[in-house]
């Protein structure tokens, strides 16, 4: 089986690399399953006290959902898809160990959301982050939940309905990126921060993270319930399939030009 997720261990820190650089590390089901397995393995490993998540290549942390997977969904598969995201997001939220996202490029849609679920984010001046799902006909449910928790309702409405991307500087001003460093220093800075966090008292770290999860748990489950309801209605309408085909055709034409 292909390794869509790569793992390493370094001085008490486990690193996870999303490994589909040819499609900007876009997710599909196998990749999501492998990512859950990687998180579970590091959570169970007592020699790992901190985790870094990044993407392969120098263009993207992650482009979000692979539209070639979702363009053929019907309402039932869309509901199953929401369940797959619940498994991944719950896995990340349940980690007892600090998670640092090393943003090596664009973080779009669900990859933006995963970055926001990390405890810290390190980026470079070329990073862009946003929630462009509306442009591909995808209804946003978990995205607005996590954005509202971090940047408030007004900015969440703007980003969800416009689909625009934010620059690294804007993300930093909003607290969505903790540190901006030169591009060639992102991974090293993330590892250094993860090592620093790994040295903290582990029980206090676990309990602090547990409390932070508890504070946002009701909103998380509300987003998932809404996801099932809204994604079923959306995919039943046929609009996502039409919009994704158009989006993919436009992207292919742009590459040929």
| Distance separating alpha carbons of residues 252 and 83, to the nearest angstrom | 30
Is 30 part of a structural domain of the chain? Answer: yes
Is 234 part of a structural domain of the chain? Answer: no
Is 34 part of a structural domain of the chain? Answer: yes
**Weakest mean pLDDT among 8-17, 44-53, 102-111, 238-247:** 238-247
Q: How many CB atoms lie within 10 A of CB 108?
A: 25
Q: What is the CATH number of the domain that holds 150?
A: 3.90.226.10
Q: pLDDT averaged over the chain?
A: 95
Is 214 part of a structural domain of the chain? Answer: no
**Choice between 181 and 246, residue whose per-residue pLDDT is larger:** 181
| Distance separating alpha carbons of residues 93 and 57, to the nearest angstrom | 26
Is 151 part of a structural domain of the chain? Answer: yes
Which sign, positive or negative, has the C-alpha torsion 227, 167, 173, 161? negative
193-248 pLDDT, tens digit per residue, is: 999 999 999 999 999 999 999 999 999 999 999 999 999 998 889 888 898 888 78
As for how many domains the chain has, the answer is 1
Is 88 part of a structural domain of the chain? Answer: yes
Which tokens in the block code for residue 199?
């040295």
β-strand partners of 20: none
| Distance separating alpha carbons of residues 67 and 210, to the nearest angstrom | 34
Q: Which residue has the tokens 């650089």?
A: 21
Range of the domain at 173: 5-202
pLDDT at 254: 79
Is 222 part of a structural domain of the chain? Answer: no
Cβ neighbors of 101 (< 8 A, separation 6 or more) are: 52, 53, 54, 61, 107, 114, 115, 118, 120, 121, 122, 190
Is 219 part of a structural domain of the chain? Answer: no
Band (255; pLDDT cuts 50, 70, 90): confident
């Amino acid at each position: 089986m292909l390794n869509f997720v790569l793992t390493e261990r370094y001085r008490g820190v486990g690193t996870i690399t999303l490994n589909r650089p040819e499609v900007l590390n876009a997710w599909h089901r196998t990749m999501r399953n492998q990512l859950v397995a990687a998180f579970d393995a590091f959570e169970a490993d007592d020699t790992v006290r901190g985790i870094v998540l990044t993407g392969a290549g120098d263009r993207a942390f992650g482009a979000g959902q692979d539209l070639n997977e979702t363009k053929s969904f019907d309402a039932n598969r869309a509901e199953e898809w929401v369940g797959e995201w619940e498994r991944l997001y719950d896995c990340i939220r349940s980690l007892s160990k600090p998670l640092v996202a090393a943003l090596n490029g664009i973080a779009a849609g669900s990859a933006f959301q995963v970055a926001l679920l990390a405890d810290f984010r390190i980026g470079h001046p070329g990073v862009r982050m946003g929630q462009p799902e509306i442009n591909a006909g995808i209804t946003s449910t978990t995205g607005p939940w996590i954005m509202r928790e971090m940047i408030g309702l007004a900015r969440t409405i703007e980003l969800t309905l416009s689909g625009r991307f934010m620059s690294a500087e804007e993300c930093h001003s909003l607290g969505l990126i903790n540190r901006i460093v030169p591009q060639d220093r992102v991974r090293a800075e993330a590892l250094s921060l993860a090592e620093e966090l790994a040295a903290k008292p582990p029980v206090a770290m676990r309990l602090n993270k547990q409390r932070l999860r508890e504070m946002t748990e009701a909103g998380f489950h509300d987003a998932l319930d809404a996801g099932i309801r809204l994604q079923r209605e959306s995919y039943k309408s046929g609009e996502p399939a039409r919009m994704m085909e158009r989006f993919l055709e436009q992207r292919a034409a742009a590459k040929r030009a």
